[in-house]
Amino acid sequence: MVNSRYHQAAKNAGECLKVTAAVKNGVIEALKSIDSQQVLVLQRRPEFLVETSPQIQIIFTDLIVRC
C-alpha cells in the first residue's frame, strides 16, 4: 500500500539501500538498508491510515517504539 502525499521524493536508492515500495510512476516510497536492520526510510504519513490499515499500524507502532 502506498500513501503518496508529497511533492518531493528520492530519485534513486543509494548503493546500500533497497527500494521496498514505489508507486506505478516510479516514485520511491520506502527504502531499507541491505546490510542492517536499523535503517528504515519511509516517505509516508502513517497516521493517516493507522486506524484502517493493520500494515500501517505495524509501521506506526515500530516508529513510536524506535523514537
Is pLDDT larger for residue 18 or for residue 41? 18
Q: For 36-66, how does the pLDDT look when each residue is reduced to its tens digit (9 = 90+)?
A: 767 766 666 656 677 788 877 887 788 788 8
CA R_g for the chain:
12
**Ordered strands of the 17-22 beta sheet:** 17-22, 28-33, 40-42
Torsion on CA atoms 67, 41, 35, 37, rounded to nearest 10 = 30
